[in-house]
């Protein structure tokens, strides 16, 4: 497993893959979701996602769209073509909505789009709703 990956386990709730290169934002999102009992795998770049698909099957994927080496749009396109995770909902995160638009994210296969900063008090319930609507 890559050295920049971190997994936090919990007995229940969602398994969430977070791809975020900003350590402060990663820590914030992880702490909010861990508080709700989610199992989190956090990665700093998109290249690590490809290597971990067989080891961690998430219920939901959060991807920062502005990443080094491989951007979130490219990652989302790849994931939607991958048999292991093609049905897993993807939520795009961006601090640059003028560069990474909602339309680009949806066209790439993202199921939802959040502009940073977002309301962390509502984050878990929004993600749970996205996951539940994807299951039906």
pLDDT digits (tens, 9 = 90+) for 39-52: 999 999 888 888 88
Q: What is the CATH number of domain 15-134?
A: 3.40.50.2300
- The residue-averaged pLDDT of 51-65 equals 92
Domains in the chain: boundaries: 15-134
Res. 91 pLDDT band, cuts 50 70 90: very high
pLDDT one-digit tens code per residue, 116-125: 998 989 999 9
**Contacts with 117 (C-beta within 8 Å, 6 or more apart), sequence order:** none
State what percent of residues in the chain have pLDDT above 90.
73
Sheet harboring 39-43: ordered strands across?
A: 6-8, 39-43, 15-19, 60-64, 90-94, 112-115
Its pTM surpasses 0.85? yes
């Amino acid at each position: 497993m890559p050295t920049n990956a971190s997994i936090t386990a919990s007995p229940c709730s969602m398994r969430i893959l977070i791809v975020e290169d900003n350590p402060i934002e990663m820590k914030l999102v992880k702490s909010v979701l861990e508080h709700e009992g989610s199992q989190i795998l956090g990665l700093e770049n998109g290249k690590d996602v490809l290597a971990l698909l067989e080891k961690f099957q998430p219920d939901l994927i959060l991807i920062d769209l502005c990443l080094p080496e491989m951007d979130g749009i490219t990652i989302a396109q790849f994931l939607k073509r991958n048999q292991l995770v093609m049905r897993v909902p993807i939520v795009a995160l961006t601090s640059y909505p003028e560069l990474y638009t909602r339309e680009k994210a949806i066209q790439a296969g993202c199921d939802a789009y959040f502009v940073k900063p977002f309301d962390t008090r509502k984050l878990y319930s929004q993600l749970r709703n996205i996951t539940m609507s994807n299951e039906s």
